[in-house]
Amino acid sequence: MSLISPAARDALQDWLDGLSALRGAAQNTLAAYRTDVSEFLTFITLHRGGPQGLGALRDLKVADMRAWMAQLRSQGIGSRSLARKLSAVKTFYRWLAQREGFDPTAVLLTRTPRFQKKLPRPLDADAAHVLLDHVEAAHPSAWVAARDAAVLTLLWGCGLRISEALSLRGADAPLPEVLRITGKGGKERVVPVLPAARAAVDHYRRLCPHDLTPGDALFRGVRGGALAPRPIQAAMAQARMQLGLPASATPHALRHSFATHLLDAGGDLRAIQDLLGHASLSTTQAYTAVDSRRLLEVYRQSHPKA
């Protein structure tokens, strides 16, 4: 960030602080915003031949935005990533324009590149069962195998994100019938815990050689520290390869599967939205990968007078 003017750097920090304090933005989100906007401001500095204070940032032109996007394209940045970066820059500029009192039209009207959204590909119930059984038997260390299976069972059986499962503490076990989970943006939700998930976690706890103290992480790495996502992703990748599953069979695909299986069993989309912790129902619809006919059927069942 050394190429960015002090005023622009301070404005960026003020914006990030506001997102954290007022909106409860997750740390990963804040880090991504910082990177994307910092890279943009650095480009503008080099493109215009010197540090750009707030006054200069007021005067960005459509040509400046096109030059920035052209450079990203030349670096091999795809449409999806470019759209994310542009969204971060627009959000920052909308805030900056309100604070400084200028017209951000050139930035806000920059067209977002089109890209085809990838629909999530959930595993069917049989494939999920086979995968979990395989993971539980795959690792030479019994307690590590039980740990990996327990985490993946929470993703599938409770619809947790991997970060949410790994945030559980020793005090959370033995798992209750319902868990209070803090998800993205600090949003809390209550999810039921299936007996299979409680049993998987209990099995892991019995085998784990480390002292699972109440205030520390429930799931541990081999050396005893808090478990990171990478070992779970690696266990899933190995199982995927050995079972001949598609590349889309990731830990997050088990969360997709949770939503899809509930919908197939007649679950209400709004209830599934709450269980997943989605802010928007459209996100839930994408996760469940259902077609318009199925959505219409659910709608008519929920609203008989429609």
Which residues are tagged catalytic? 161, 184, 252, 255, 278, 287
Q: Which helix (H) or strand (E) holds 182?
A: strand 178-182
Cα 247–Cα 252–Cα 256 angle in degrees, nearest 5: 100
15 CB-near residues (< 8 Å, 6+ apart) = 37, 92, 95, 96
In which residue are the tokens 């629909």 written? Answer: 119
In contact, 91 and 25? CB cutoff 8 Å: no
> CA 12, CA 305: separation in Å to the nearest integer?
51
Comparing CA positions, the residue from 146, 132, 156 lying closest to residue 210 is: 146
Rounded to 10 degrees, the C-alpha dihedral 198/204/210/216 comes to -30
- Residue type for 113, please? P
Comparing CA positions, the residue from 142, 148, 204 lying closest to residue 173 is: 204
What's the longest Cα–Cα distance across the chain? 64
> CA 27, CA 181: separation in Å to the nearest integer?
17
Q: How far is CA 98 from the centre of its chain?
A: 29
Query: Per-residue DSSP letters for 103-143?
Result: --HHHHTSPPPP-PPPPP-PPPHHHHHHHHHHHHHHSSSHH
